[in-house]
Structure 1
Amino acid sequence: MRIGLLGTGPWAEMAHAPALGAHDDLEFTGVWGRRPDAAEKLAREHGTRAYTDVDALLADVDAVAVALPPAVQAELAARAARAGCHLLLDKPLATTVAQARAVVAAAEAAGVASVVFFTTRFQPEPAAWIAEQAGRRGWFTARAQWLGAVFTGDSPFAGSPWRREKGALWDVGPHALSVLLPVLGDVRRVAAAAPGPGDTVHLVLDHAGGASSTLTLSLTAPPAAAGAGVELRGESGVTLLPQSAQGPAAALGRAADALLAAARSGRPHGCDAAFALRVTEILAEAEGLLDGAAR
């Protein structure tokens, strides 16, 4: 499969370009970015071609991987789908429900496959744990904490305008939901949403399976307090989401495997654009509650 990369930022450098270049079943055809000099540099480092015209790249590939801010991603993903390209996207799919729906509609109309890179879902140990817990019944409650130090430590993403605008809810909230939804079921409602220090938010979710969950999300945690974890409690006892030794490039390679499988079989992956749309809807509901509390 010929695949192009849209984006040249830190995430493209550390995850996308290495994963695409190393994958045996992908031909890394080219890179497009909003900064042509950065596209040229990244392409040169990975032995591929820099494109100055995004439509020219879309015409030369079978699929695209996108490492761009969500609003830009949503626009270009729909455009790529209309050009017949399969989609390897990042989370969040978009930061408005309308944008996310437009991506799903374009992919469905074009009959292209989509996979959204919720990192935890493509790391072997967490993925196996999620599948195991999803097969068990009787979950009573869950607690998820995704605490980052993006704005308090030495992070390559500290200068990200969209993260500064949208905060932890939209950046790490998708990670937590990608773990909770397959285990506890869809969210019937966001029962509560409250702000904490910095960009921290606290959510209470009511799940279709009967369980409730609480989420604490932050990009402004002290570096010594940063980390992510999920605890489930129910009839099976207590279990914790395992950590993974696999880095983002290797996990993205597994996401590319999933895209290849979905494109060949025509069967949607569990982390496709439709799933990412549902995540967007939940986050938008939470955002509305937070906005209301701030008035």
Structure 2
Amino acid sequence: MRIGLLGTGPWAAMAHAPALSGHGELDFVGVWGRRPDAAKALADEHGVRAYEDVDALLAEVDAVAIALPPAVQAPLAARAARAHCHLLLDKPLAAGVEEGRAVVEAVEESHVASVVFFTARFQATTEAWLAEQAAMDGWFTARAEWLGTVFTSDSPFAASPWRREKGALWDVGPHGLSVLLPVLGDVERVAAAARGPKDTVHLVLQHVSGASSTLTLSLTAPPAAAGVTVELRGKAGATVLPASSDGPVQALTRAADALLASARTGRPHPCDAAFGLRVTEIIAAAEAQLTGD
């Protein structure tokens, strides 16, 4: 499969480009970016072509990986789908529900495969744990804490304008939901949403299974307090998400494998654009509660 990369930022450089160039079943064709000089630098690093015209790249590939802010990703994803390119997308799918819906519509109309890269869902340890828990019933409640240090450390993402604008709810909220939904089922209602320190957000969710869950999300945690915890409680007792040793390149390689499989078989992946849209809808509902809209 011939694949191109849209985006040249830190995530594209540290995860996407290495994963695409090192994948045995992908032909990494080239890079397009909003900054031509950055596109050329990243393309040169991996021995591929830098494209100044995104449509020229879309015309020469079977798929694209997108590593761009959500407000930029969504229209480009729809454009790529209409050009009959399969999509390896980042989370969140879009900066709003309507934009996300436009991506899903383009995917469905063009009959292309799509995978949204929720990092934890493509880590081998997490995938095995989720499958084990999803096969059990009787879950009563869960808590997920995604406490990052993007704005309290020397993170390469600290200069990200969209993260400063949208905060933890939109950046790490999708990670939490991507782990809770396969086990507890879809969210029936955002029962409560409250702000904590800085960009920290607390959510209470009711799921269609009858279970409830809480999420605590932050990009401004003190470094000593940072980390990820997911705990489930139910008839079988309590279980905690085990730590994963997979880095972003390994996880993204597995996401690329999933895209290849979906494109070959025509079967949607559980983390397809439609799932990405559902996550966006839940995040938007929580944001509406926080802002009073």
TM-score between the two structures when normalised by the length of structure 2:
0.99
User: Which structure 2 segments of 5+ residues have no match?
Assistant: none
1:5 Cα offset (Å): 0.1
Q: What is the RMSD computed on CA atoms of the aligned residues?
A: 0.6
Query: Which runs of structure 2 are paired with 1:3-42 in the superposition (5 Å)?
Result: 3-42=3-42
Letter in 2 for 1:208: V
Matched, 1:44 2:44: yes
Aligned to 1:224: 224
1:216 Cα offset (Å): 0.2
Query: Which runs of structure 2 are paired with 1:70-149 in the superposition (5 Å)?
Result: 70-149=70-149
Aligned to 2:273: 273
Aligned length: 293
SS at structure 2 position matched to 1:154 = coil
1:95 Cα offset (Å): 1.5
Aligned to 1:187: 187
Question: Could you list the per-position Cα deviations for residues 74-98 of structure 1 after superposition, in whole angstroms to 9, with x for gaps in the alignment?
Answer: 0100000000000000000012000
Output the CA distance in 1 between the equivalents of 2:39 and 2:228.
32
Query: Which runs of structure 2 are paired with 1:168-247 in the superposition (5 Å)?
Result: 168-247=168-247
1:154 Cα offset (Å): 1.1
Identity across matched positions, percent = 77
Question: Could you list the per-position Cα deviations for residues 155-177 of structure 1 after superposition, in whole angstroms to 9, with x for gaps in the alignment?
Answer: 00000000000000000000000
Question: Could you list the per-position Cα deviations for residues 129-157 of structure 1 after superposition, in whole angstroms to 9, with x for gaps in the alignment?
Answer: 01110010000000000000100111000
Output the CA distance in 2 between the equivalents of 1:153 and 1:224.
11
TM-score between the two structures when normalised by the length of structure 1:
0.99
1:229 Cα offset (Å): 1.0
Output the CA distance in 1 between the equivalents of 2:205 and 2:230.
14
Aligned to 1:160: 160
User: Which runs of at least 4 in structure 1 moved beyond 4 Å after TM superposition?
Assistant: none
1:22 Cα offset (Å): 0.2
1:211 Cα offset (Å): 0.4
Output the CA distance in 2 between the equivalents of 1:243 and 1:78.
35
Output the CA distance in 2 between the equivalents of 1:98 and 1:116.
17
User: Which structure 1 segments of 5+ residues have no match?
Assistant: none
Question: Could you list the per-position Cα deviations for residues 45-101 of structure 1 after superposition, in whole angstroms to 9, with x for gaps in the alignment?
Answer: 111110000000000000000000001000100000000000000000012000000
